[in-house]
A and B are shown apart, each in its own frame.
Chain A
Amino acid sequence: MTTQVIRSEWTKIRSVASTVWTLSLAAVVTIALGMLVSALARQQFDNMGEQDRLSFDATYISFAGMGLGQLAMIVFGVLVVTNEYSTGMIRTSLAAVPRRGSLLASKVAVATVLALVVGMVTSFAAFFLGQALLGSLSTSIGEEGVLRAVIGGGLYMALIAMFSMGIAVMLRSPMLSLGILMPFFFLISNILGAVQATKKFGRFLPDQAGSHIMQVVTPVGDDTPYGPWGGLGIMALWVIAALAGGYLLLRKRDA
């Protein structure tokens, strides 16, 4: 990874349209859906059961759009990588930067910084707008654990993008990568995490573990064996594994 290659990757990422639309979609969906759910929660709070009221997490409610918004982040991560393969640009890129580790590291670094900036802005915006709509139910950024959760929301989005990049380097095809990642994060992971039989395993999946960072109130009866940072750490391990796998394949394969 050199400053030269980082500059080059920055030029690449800022000069394609997919960067702008995937990242703006991630922000808009996360914020708008969070606002909608916050507004609904305020209306429905009085109809909630005792347990739900005790578990009510004003911070987490404002991040309700994250589940859908992360899909746009996945598309961003996948396209950053597979754009090179689907166009054949990868050969031109590797002829210019034959040290493959350097090319991959620079590409991931640039895309991650961008995803992190967008993720942070999104997370803070989702939080403040969500709280505004929650009215009397709202919490404030100064309460214990809230700032951690909001910053964690930004980190979560960046990690999702990184994980997607690792998977995309391994699979190379945009359709295959999206076809695996989207249903996995939108459906399968949630089902595995909710069904009693698979819950023990499901909560170690990257998104299930990572999203704990956005929780402030521990739900009643929750027996998760890791804390918010522990969960994010588990997600980070998944990211490292995906990127390491991608790197090893990239190094070994013919371009």
Chain B
Amino acid sequence: MIELEGLTKRYGEKLAVDNLTFTVRPGTVTGFLGPNGAGKSTTMRMILGLDHPTAGNVRVDGRRYQELKDPLTYMGALLDAKAVHGGRSAYNHLLCLAQSNGIPDRRVHEVLDTVGLTPVARKKAKGFSLGMSQRLGIAAALLGDPRILMFDEPVNGLDPEGIHWIRGLMKSLAAQGRTVFVSSHLMSEMALTADHLVVIGQGRLLADTSMADFIERNSRCYVRIRTPERERLLDVLSTAGITAVEQDGGLLEVEDGEAERIGELAARHRVVLHELSSRQSSLEEAFMQLTAGSVEYHAHTGQAERAGQAGQTGQAGQAEPAAAPVQPAVADMKKES
């Protein structure tokens, strides 16, 4: 169990983590979701006692991390896969960590086996691909057979096979009753792995909810209509008691509408339709909407990341209704790209 209480971190003027209070519980995968720069890595560094909180505190199994004797046997963490001395072999890297926590040498062989690095155990870490480094970092996290595991963006830069492997690993660790806390900036990734979701934006807590609740609350069904006879169709629909919302580009959207009924109404009144479709907003859109206030942070991220984000927003912009929070976000991101 990891408990955060009013955890706050300020770097000079910059408030990176703002009064976070939540609990990460055992037996589930807890997703820690937020756009780039939201403060996920900073929070994780504070959990490990690497960065000193400006205010608040965080406890691991009821104690400060620094007070844990042999901390690797309580909690294993992967923060940055490349944070390894490149000249040291994978075996020696794990060995020095094991020795510092009184973990028997045979565990080194076991975890190397678990992550599939046994064949390259004696090779220097600088020759490792990102995927192999990621596996080495996970081996280090598993070394002390800890009840709590924490991974910072573990699938970043991995190939599909590696991603699949990590997802499976996290689920099986949680199924063994362990606490698994994993961060990501992609909703789609969390939707596949997490049972519980903690969402932050600009360092602040935006949601702390079960995945099922989040999906239920945030998936929106609507019917999208394109027609050259907008005014006539609006009349027909309102006479039938259906409210359509006008969108950019002459689109109409009907919340929770039935496409069949709308189609029949249009046919009866001989209104021409160019498009009639049932749609469901994605979780990614729900996430975008939730964190809309913090998208300005995308300005800090790399070119590729930005392009990716802008692409997603493009979709969201089309699918969203005139929902207020999303509009400025879209405008912001378009400006950036």
Give the number of residue pairs across the A-B interface with Cβ within 8 Å. Answer: 86
Decide: A96 and B100 in contact? CB cutoff 8 A: yes
Compute how far the CA of A11 lies from the CA of B88 in the bound complex, rounded to whole angstroms.
Answer: 10
With known contacts A91-B45, A96-B101, A99-B66, A255–B84 Cβ distance under 8 A: no
Compute how far the CA of A235 lies from the CA of B165 in the bound complex, rounded to whole angstroms.
Answer: 55
Does B71 sit at the interface, judged by CB under 8 A?
yes
Contacts of A255 in B (CB 8 A): 45, 50-51
Q: Which residue of A lies closest to B68 (CB)?
A: A98
Does A83 sit at the interface, judged by CB under 8 A?
yes
Does B59 sit at the interface, judged by CB under 8 A?
no
A5-35: CB near B (< 8 Å → 1, else 0) gives 1011101100111100000000000000000
Decide: B100 and A5 in contact? CB cutoff 8 A: yes
Q: Determine which of A5, A15, A96, A254 lies in contact with B72 in the assembled complex, contact meaning CB atoms within 8 Å.
A: A96
Q: Which residue of A lies closest to B140 (CB)?
A: A92
Query: In chain B between 61 and 86, which residues have their CB closer than 8 angstroms to a CB of chain A?
Result: 65-66, 68, 71-72, 77, 79-80, 82-86
Contacts of B50 in A (CB 8 A): 91, 94-95, 254-255
Decide: A4 and B79 in contact? CB cutoff 8 A: no
A70-99: CB near B (< 8 Å → 1, else 0) gives 000000000000011001110111111111
Decide: A92 and B97 in contact? CB cutoff 8 A: yes
A contact face: mostly helix, strand, loop, or mixed: helix
Compute how far the CA of A99 lies from the CA of B89 in the bound complex, rounded to whole angstroms.
Answer: 25
Compute how far the CA of A84 lies from the CA of B86 in the bound complex, rounded to whole angstroms.
Answer: 11
Does B20 sit at the interface, judged by CB under 8 A?
no
Decide: B71 and A88 in contact? CB cutoff 8 A: no
Question: In angstroms, how far is the closest chain B Cβ from the Cβ of A254?
Answer: 4
Compute how far the CA of A66 lies from the CA of B77 in the bound complex, rounded to whole angstroms.
Answer: 45
Decide: A87 and B84 in contact? CB cutoff 8 A: yes
Decide: A16 and B96 in contact? CB cutoff 8 A: no
Decide: B52 and A254 in contact? CB cutoff 8 A: yes
Decide: A91 and B80 in contact? CB cutoff 8 A: yes
Compute how far the CA of A87 lies from the CA of B48 in the bound complex, rounded to whole angstroms.
Answer: 18
With known contacts A98-B49, A98-B68, A88–B83 Cβ distance under 8 A: yes
Contacts of A83 in B (CB 8 A): 85
Question: In angstroms, how far is the closest chain B Cβ from the Cβ of A10?
Answer: 8
Q: Determine which of A7, A18, A92 lies in contact with B99 in the assembled complex, contact meaning CB atoms within 8 Å.
A: A7
Interface centre among B65, B80, B83, B92 (most CB of A within 10 A): B83
Decide: A4 and B72 in contact? CB cutoff 8 A: no
Interface centre among A12, A93, A97 (most CB of B within 10 A): A12
Decide: B96 and A12 in contact? CB cutoff 8 A: yes
Does B314 sit at the interface, judged by CB under 8 A?
no
Compute how far the CA of A29 lies from the CA of B292 in the bound complex, rounded to whole angstroms.
Answer: 63
Q: Which residue of A lies closest to B137 (CB)?
A: A92
Q: Determine which of B66, B80, B83, B96 lies in contact with A98 in the assembled complex, contact meaning CB atoms within 8 Å.
A: B66
Decide: A95 and B96 in contact? CB cutoff 8 A: no
Decide: A98 and B87 in contact? CB cutoff 8 A: no
Contacts of A87 in B (CB 8 A): 83-86
Interface centre among A18, A92, A95 (most CB of B within 10 A): A95
Chain A contacts to B: CB under 8 angstroms: 4-5, 7-9, 11-12, 15-18, 83-84, 87-89, 91-99, 252, 254-255
5 A-B pairs with C-beta separation under 8 A: A4-B101, A7-B100, A88-B82, A89-B83, A95-B50
8 additional A-B residue pairs with CB within 8 Å, beyond A9-B96, A12-B96, A96-B72:
A8-B100, A84-B85, A89-B83, A89-B85, A95-B71, A98-B48, A254-B52, A255-B45
